[in-house]
């Protein structure tokens, strides 16, 4: 798996929707999905991304490409439980960063439970979980039978 960009930032909903869509359009491999967290305003988040794509299409910026699927994730577990299997994939060399992402990488290597919510790390964990192949996790203390690593890709 490859992390090619980190556009995490504090921004308004409209800007966030356009930024997600533009990033999907900029990826060399044509992004096929946008992952959104539905815990707080999931329907609104879906609508914002859908509207942003429509606006970009109306301006010709999508170049006729289809809108990526929207995958809604719901954070049921604590950040540590969500991040553990992804940390394992990093340790196995199955996740690679293309380019430099200093703010994301800083959160990945310094966050400990109890600290403020790591927004960039959280976004990366949700996206990588959706891409992950549970069979790829072969080390660690045991299998993740609780479906923490049940990616759909």
> Each residue of 87-145: pLDDT tens digit?
999 999 999 999 999 999 999 999 988 888 788 999 999 999 988 877 655 544 455 55
Give the per-residue pLDDT at 134.
73
Q: Which pLDDT band, with edges at 50, 70 and 90, does 5 fall under? A: very high
Question: What is the reported pTM?
Answer: 0.79
Six-digit token string for 126:
């949700």
Q: Which residues 6+ apart lie within 8 Å of 71 measured at CB? A: 33, 34, 35, 36, 130, 152
Six-digit token string for 51:
């509207």
* Ranges 15-19, 56-60, 123-127, 142-146: which has the least confidence: 142-146
Tell me what the mean pLDDT of segment 74-83 comes to: 83
Q: Which pLDDT band, with edges at 50, 70 and 90, does 147 fall under? A: low
Q: Which residues 6+ apart lie within 8 Å of 118 measured at CB? A: 79, 107, 111
Distance CA 67, CA 1 (A): 22
Give the per-residue pLDDT at 138.
54
Give the per-residue pLDDT at 132.
87
Q: At what angle do helices 119-131 and 79-91 cross, to 10 degrees?
A: 60
Distance CA 92, CA 65 (A): 35
Six-digit token string for 40:
């707080």
Tell me what the mean pLDDT of segment 47-61 comes to: 96
Per the CB < 8 A criterion, the answer to whether 74 and 39 are in contact is yes
Distance CA 33, CA 35 (A): 6
Dihedral, CA of residue 117, residue 120, residue 126 and residue 128, to nearest 10: -140
At residue 73, the 3 state secondary structure works out as strand
Q: Which of 48, 68, 73, 47 is nearest to 128 (CA)?
A: 73
pLDDT mean across residues, the chain: 85
């Amino acid at each position: 798996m490859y992390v090619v960009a980190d556009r995490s930032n504090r921004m308004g909903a409209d800007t966030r929707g356009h930024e997600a869509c533009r990033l999907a359009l900029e990826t060399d491999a044509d992004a096929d999905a946008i992952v959104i967290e539905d815990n707080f305003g999931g329907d609104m988040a879906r609508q914002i991304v859908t509207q942003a794509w429509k606006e970009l299409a109306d301006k010709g910026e999508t170049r006729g490409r289809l809108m990526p699927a929207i995958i809604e994730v719901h954070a049921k577990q604590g950040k540590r439980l969500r991040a553990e299997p992804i940390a394992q994939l990093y340790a196995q060399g199955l996740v690679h960063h293309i380019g430099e992402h200093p703010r994301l990488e800083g959160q990945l290597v310094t966050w400990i439970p109890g600290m403020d919510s790591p927004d960039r790390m959280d976004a990366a964990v949700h996206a990588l979980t959706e891409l992950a192949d549970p069979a790829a996790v072969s080390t660690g203390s045991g299998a993740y039978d609780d479906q923490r690593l049940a990616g759909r890709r």
